[in-house]
Structure 1
Amino acid sequence: MSLSLLAACATQPSPPEVEETGRSGQVGVRSIDKLMPASERMQLADNETFQMPLAEYGNPNPLYPPVLLAQRLPPQTICLRVAIGEDGKVMDSQPIDDAASGCPRPAQTDPRFVEAARNAVAQWRFDPAFRCVYPGARPIDEQGCVSGREEAVAVSLAFSFVFEQEDGKGSVRVGG
C-alpha cells in the first residue's frame, strides 16, 4: 500500500544539498511536497502521528548532463514524485507535470535532464517514514514514538531540481 505525504507535518527534512562550483554544471534540489494535492496526502486518525522519512547523508544530487553543457541552456527545472518504500529505498520516480507548482511539462525540457534526476534519486536512501499509533485517543509523546507503536509506511515525496550554468560554470539554485 502506498501512501502519500501528510499535509500537517510541521518539520520536513530533505536531502542534504551539495554546493560545488566548477565547469561540470550543478543542480539545486528542494522538496515541494506541500504542493501535492490534499487528496493524495495521508490522513491520520486522532490517535496517530507521522514521521517523515529522513534522507540519508550522502544522497547524490543529479549530475548536469555533460553533453548539454556546450549548449549553454537556460535553467531547467525538473520535478519528480519519488516513491519511497517501507524499507526507505526509492521504488520509483516519475516527472510531475504541474505548471501551477512551477514544474514545466516534461516535454518542454530535454529528456536527459529528467534521466539525470531519475538516475540520482534511484540511488537515494531514507530512514523509513512511519505512522505512530497510540493506544489512547490522543498522541502523548512530544517527540518520537515512545509510548506508541511504529508502523513503517511507503510514501511519495515531490522534489524540484534546477539544472543551470552561467558563463560556462556550473552553479546551484534551489528550485522555485
Structure 2
Amino acid sequence: MSNGLSLFAPAVCALALAACASAPRQVAMPAPTGAVGVRSIDKRLVAAERLALAANETFQMPLAEAGNAAPEYPQALLAQRLPPQTVCLSVAIGADGAVAGSRALAAGEGCPAQTPADPRLLDAARAAVARWRFDPAFRCVYPGAKPADEQGCVTGREEAVAVSLAYSFVFEQKDGRGTVRMGD
C-alpha cells in the first residue's frame, strides 16, 4: 500500500506544477469612457446678482430643451487618472433661448471647487453648453396686484428676458472609467 501511494504523489506534484506554469487568463478590459454630472448652483450666487421683481411680477425660469447634451469627458485625459474636478460656469441665455456665452466661475462666485480644474475640462464644459437651447425665461407683468395664476402667465403680459444661470459640472474617474456625480 505504501508502494502505490509513493507512485501517486509524484503524479499529483507534476500536475500541480503544470497548472502553475500555464499562461494567466486574459481579462478583457472595457474601453475607457467619460461622463459628467451637472447641477445648477444659482442659489449660491450673491443677492446683488439676482433678478429683482416688482410686486406685480412673477418670473419663469428658462426651460432646458430635452436634447441638451452633457459635456463629454475628454478621452485624452482618461489615461491620466485625474482626481475628481469641478467646473463651474455662468451660462448667459438670451431672450431668444440661445446660449450667448459662458464664463468660468471661481470659488468666491459660488463654485464649490477649491482649485481650478484642468483647462481641457473647462473647454469640454464650455463646448457643450454653447450648443444648448432653452425655452426663454420670462417675466410676467400683471396689471395691478399680482394674481395667483395657477397655469402660468394667463392674466399678465409675458416679457422674454436674458438671464445667466450657474452650473456645476463634476468630471470624475473610477477604475479608469468616467462616472457621473452631481456637484454641490
Q: TM-score, normalised by structure 2?
A: 0.80
Partner SS state of residue 132, structure 2: coil
Structure with higher Rg: it is 2
Q: Does 1:58 align with 2:83?
A: no
Deviation at 1:22, TM superposition (A): 6.7
Asked if 2 retains the 8 angstrom alpha-carbon contact of 1:22 and 1:170, the reply is: no
Amino acid in structure 1 at the alignment position of 2:102:
S
In structure 2, relative to structure 1, the CA distance for the partners of 1:22 and 1:145 (3 Å cut) is farther
Partner SS state of residue 79, structure 2: helix
Aligned CA-pair RMSD? 1.5
Partner SS state of residue 163, structure 1: strand
In the other structure, the counterpart of 1:84 is: 93
User: d(CA) in 1 for partners of 2:144 and 2:113?
Assistant: 42
User: d(CA) in 2 for partners of 1:88 and 1:53?
Assistant: 7
User: d(CA) in 1 for partners of 2:113 and 2:164?
Assistant: 17
Number of equivalent positions = 154
Where does structure 1 differ by over 3 angstroms across 4 or more consecutive aligned residues?
A: none
Sequence identity (%): 66
44, 48, 55: which one pairs with 1:39? 48
User: d(CA) in 1 for partners of 2:71 and 2:134?
Assistant: 17
In the other structure, the counterpart of 2:177 is: 169
Amino acid in structure 2 at the alignment position of 1:147:
T
In the other structure, the counterpart of 1:17 is: none
Deviation at 1:62, TM superposition (A): 0.5
Per mean C-alpha deviation after superposition, the further-off stretch among 90-99 and 153-162 is: 90-99
In the other structure, the counterpart of 1:131 is: 139
Structure 2's unaligned 5+ residue stretches are: 1-29
Asked if 2 retains the 8 angstrom alpha-carbon contact of 1:90 and 1:125, the reply is: yes
Partner SS state of residue 122, structure 2: helix
1:1-176 aligned at under 5 Å gives the runs 23-99=32-108, 101-105=111-115, 108-176=116-184
Structure 1's unaligned 5+ residue stretches are: 1-20
Specify which structure has the higher proportion of helix: 2
Amino acid in structure 1 at the alignment position of 2:95:
E
Asked if 1 retains the 8 angstrom alpha-carbon contact of 2:88 and 2:104, the reply is: yes
Amino acid in structure 2 at the alignment position of 1:159:
Y
